[in-house]
Structures are given as C-alpha cells and as structure tokens.
Structure 1
C-alpha cells in the first residue's frame, strides 16, 4: 500500500534506465537507424554496470 514511499535501489534505477533505453532504441529503429544504434550502445553500457553490481 505504501510502496510509493520506498526508494529505489541503485540496481532498480539502472534496470529501469536500461529498459527505457531499449524502448527508445526500438522506436527509433524504424526512422533513424544511427540513433537507434547509439541507444543500443548506451543500453549496453548500463547493462555492464548492472552486471558489475551483481
């Protein structure tokens, strides 16, 4: 009930950022391939940080 008072852990923040970047990359893939590739690179960097935390 009071989950909105709970702060996100650093891992949860990175996971949500990773998911957001992948969604943006998917949307861009139909219109701008270079921008989509850039978003994939950013998402990969975030994934590397997630793996380091685990």
Structure 2
C-alpha cells in the first residue's frame, strides 16, 4: 500500500555509477591511468550491484 513512498535503491546506485565513470574519464584525461583503472573497477562493482538488485 505504501510502496509509492519507498525509495528505489537502484536510482542512488545508478547516480554513483555515473559519477564514478565520469571521475574515471577525468583521470584518464589527466593521464592518471592507475586512478582510471581503480575508478573503473569501482564503477563496475556498482553496475553489478545494480543488476543484482534489478533481478530480484
């Protein structure tokens, strides 16, 4: 009955995922490939979590 008031956790994770990808892109542009790799790995972990939540 009150499902309309429940927040969707995937929205928060999606924003964090997009933020990490942007940070990775900026690190790449600055030539910091180690930071790029670390941030991309963190973004991938967020993507997997989003998929897990969407599945069920």
- TM-score, scaled to structure 2: 0.79
Show the counterpart of 1:48: 48
Question: Any unmatched runs of 5+ in structure 1?
Answer: 1-5
Of structures 1 and 2, the larger Rg is shown by 2
Deviation at 1:30, TM superposition (A): 1.9
7 and 22 in structure 1: CA distance in 2 versus 1, 3 angstrom threshold: farther
Task: Provide the rounded CA distance (Å) in 1 between the counterparts of 2:41 and 2:6.
Answer: 28
Look up the SS of the partner of 1:27 in the other structure: helix
Question: Any unmatched runs of 5+ in structure 2?
Answer: none
- TM-score, scaled to structure 1: 0.82
Show the counterpart of 1:15: 14
Task: Provide the rounded CA distance (Å) in 1 between the counterparts of 2:44 and 2:10.
Answer: 15
Q: CA RMSD in A?
A: 1.6
- In the TM superposition, structure 1's runs of 4+ consecutive aligned residues that sit over 3 Å from their partners are none
